[in-house]
């Protein structure tokens, strides 16, 4: 039975057929030891996997470097890899996950969990583990910015500065509630950028904007969306330029960001493309999945169906 056939098989057959095809007997479970409820999460995940005949080996890592080293040295020994953490953990491991080419399970333990949210993976560790056990795989797109892969969104300008400040005690104490506080603080100090953006090799357009976002998935910042009609399997990026000139204009735009209807706003423009090159004056930092990735100019492309992820059928 082919992988695509499994997705269409009756529910009672899909799990067994998938496990037989992939020979899912073992799993490397990499857990961010700094994630919320990490100890309880290990027990829930291990129990859910063992109930379905998958033997996990759980490795708690307290640093990105340790997680990468474990994945590189031990990942090939297991049938699948499961990552327990947030978008930052996935972003850090993504280059090696792509090289390893093992099916990926996700236990969302971060603050926003945007990638898992875009795939409708539940936040309960036990329920997320059962999604892995069910064996339904989706081939999803991965975006690449100046040679470095990311999953959700690259931000330049205001959004990047907010992500950079979304750390420390406010993130630990307030979680996603710290986003509005950081956003207001950054907005007061942010100046418009002069941007040159060219889509799919076309002649670049020059404009002024406070934020440029290039999205691969539908969600960022937990509650915000650039383009709700796009998906992780479209082979296209959503490129948004946001240029509200006043606090009142931003207040009108925010509800559209929550609904993924940014394109309907007079203060935003959203386009679809397979590649985009962005230059800014002055030079600006860009972040991907909340992690600083470099400085402009940046060229972003999409690799269609580059990653296999366990996800719900619907």
Distance of CA 266 to CAs 242, 251, 252, Å? 10, 13, 10
- Helix orientation angle between 125-134 and 11-22, rounded to the nearest 10 degrees: 80
| pLDDT at site 314 | 72
The two tokens of residue 219 are 């969600």
Task: Answer yes or no: are the C-beta atoms of 207 and 198 closer than 8 Å.
Answer: no
Task: Answer yes or no: are the C-beta atoms of 3 and 21 closer than 8 Å.
Answer: yes
Asked if the bond preceding 66 is cis, omega within 30° of 0, the reply is no
Closest CA to 250 of 289, 258, 163: 258
Please tell me the distance from the alpha carbon of residue 206 to that of residue 243, in angstroms, as a whole number: 13
| pLDDT at site 2 | 34
Distance of CA 253 to CAs 17, 247, 262, 304, Å? 46, 10, 7, 30
| pLDDT at site 186 | 66
Contacts of the segment 60-68: beta carbons below 8 A, 24+ positions apart: 60/31, 60/33, 61/30, 61/31, 61/32, 61/33, 62/33, 62/34, 64/89, 64/92, 67/30, 67/32, 67/92, 67/93, 68/92, 68/93, 68/96
| Fold of domain 148-304 | Tumour Suppressor Smad4 (2.60.200)
Task: Answer yes or no: are the C-beta atoms of 80 and 136 closer than 8 Å.
Answer: no
Residues of the chain with CATH 3.40.50.10330: 3-135
The two tokens of residue 167 are 């750390």
pTM of the model: 0.83
Strand-strand pairing, 205-209 and 298-310:
unpaired
Q: Which residues pair with 108 in a beta bridge?
A: 85
Q: Which residues pair with 144 in a beta bridge?
A: 149, 301
pLDDT in tens, the chain (314 residues): 234 433 444 443 444 434 445 679 999 999 988 876 667 788 899 999 999 999 999 999 989 999 999 999 999 999 999 999 999 899 999 999 999 999 999 999 988 899 999 999 999 999 999 999 999 999 999 999 999 999 999 999 886 666 665 555 444 444 444 455 566 666 666 678 999 999 999 999 999 998 899 999 877 766 677 887 889 999 999 998 988 777 777 777 777 776 766 766 777 888 999 999 999 999 999 999 888 899 999 999 999 999 999 999 87
Indicate the CATH number for domain 3-135: 3.40.50.10330
- Specify the 3-state DSSP secondary structure of 236: coil
Residues of the chain with CATH 2.60.200.40: 148-304
Q: DSSP secondary-structure letter at 97?
A: H
């Amino acid at each position: 039975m082919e992988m695509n056939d499994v997705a269409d098989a009756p529910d009672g057959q899909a799990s067994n057929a998938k496990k037989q095809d992939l020979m899912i007997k073992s799993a490397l479970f990499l857990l961010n030891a700094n994630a919320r409820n990490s100890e309880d999460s290990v027990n829930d995940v291990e129990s859910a996997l063992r109930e379905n005949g998958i033997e996990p080996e759980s490795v708690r890592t307290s640093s990105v470097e340790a997680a990468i080293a474990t994945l590189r040295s031990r990942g090939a020994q297991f049938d699948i890899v499961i990552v327990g953490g947030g978008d930052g953990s996935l972003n850090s491991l993504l280059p090696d996950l792509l090289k390893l080419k093992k099916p990926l399970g996700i236990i969302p333990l971060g603050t926003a969990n945007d990638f898992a949210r875009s795939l409708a993976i539940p936040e309960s560790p036990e329920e997320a583990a059962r999604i892995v056990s069910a064996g339904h795989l989706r081939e999803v797109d991965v975006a690449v910015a100046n040679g470095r892969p990311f999953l959700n969104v690259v931000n330049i300008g205001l959004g990047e500065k907010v992500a950079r400040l979304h750390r420390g005690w406010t993130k630990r104490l307030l979680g996603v509630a710290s986003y509005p506080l950081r956003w207001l603080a950054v907005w007061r100090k942010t100046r418009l950028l002069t941007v040159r953006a060219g889509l799919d090799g076309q002649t670049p357009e020059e404009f002024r904007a406070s934020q440029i976002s290039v999205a691969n998935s539908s969600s960022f910042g937990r509650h915000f969306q650039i383009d709700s009609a796009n998906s992780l399997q479209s082979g296209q990026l959503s490129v948004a330029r946001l240029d509200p000139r006043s606090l009142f204009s931003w207040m009108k735009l925010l509800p559209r960001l929550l609904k993924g209807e940014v394109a309907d706003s007079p203060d935003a423009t959203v386009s679809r493309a397979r590649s985009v090159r962005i230059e800014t004056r002055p030079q600006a930092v860009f972040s991907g999945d909340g992690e600083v990735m470099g400085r402009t100019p940046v060229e972003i492309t999409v690799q269609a169906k580059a990653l296999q992820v366990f996800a719900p059928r619907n």
